[in-house]
Amino acid sequence: MPSLLLASASPARRATLVAAGIEPHVLVSGVDEDAVLREAEARFGTLDPVDAVLVLANAKADDVAARLEGGETVPGQEDGLPEDLLVLGCDSLLDLDGEALGKPRDADDAVARWKRMRGRSGLLHTGHWLVDLRPGSPTATLGATSTTVVHFADVTDAEIDAYVATGEPLAVAGAFTVDGRGGAFVRGIEGDHHGVVGLSLPVLRDLLQQVDLSVTDLWT
């Protein structure tokens, strides 16, 4: 049976998979995101946010796949991983006025972000990249992006300060969550809720179909 390895430290992405019946292995990618984007822009010119997330997801999946093929072990799996393995890399950015916003630099940046975002709408892009490492199968590497419109509440300064003080927005792209404290400050979304959390299950299903697998093949 095929197994999925998530190239991400995100607990929300792992929880999304587990809730969907998929128990992933995890090996965090070690790519320098800023360096990856600089190199891509040197080759292709300025990247739109929707392209940037795909470039980053690709880099993360390729990094982990190369390390596995080089013999690196996964914590807790020192006896080896299943042979029929697929690696999934993901990355998310908030697109506000065409500007790509990842994790805030610090608390002041998070406060400034929220004062800019409140009462407005943005696009949350999540890139997904799948690398098929199953022996006997043609090596496949493919990706896709989900985009969801996010409508933010017109939150007060006091609410922003209290939210930033929790530390939650410092750890996530766009400085907000929909599955945590930040959910109270999101009026609604148009698109895939899971894509905002960080991993679109419909996109994963589509990618798996392109390598002749069903999402049900990954159910535990």
Residues with active-site annotation: 91
Q: How far apart are CA 220 and CA 217, in angstroms?
A: 8
In whole angstroms, what separates CA 59 from the centre of its chain? 12
Q: Give buried/exposed letters for 97-134 (b at 16+ CB in 10 A, else e).
A: eeebbbbbeeeebbbbbbebbbeeebbbbbbbbbbbbb
Task: Tell how far CA 133 is from the center of its chain.
Answer: 20
- Torsions phi, psi of 100, nearest 5? -85, 120
CB contact at 8 A, 57 and 127: yes
- Cα separation, 124 vs 59, whole angstroms: 19
According to DSSP, the β-strands at 85-96 and 25-26 are: unpaired
157-165 helix and 107-117 helix, angle to the nearest 10 degrees: 140
3-state SS class at 94: strand
Residue 95 and residue 115 in contact, taking contact as beta carbons nearer than 8 Å: no
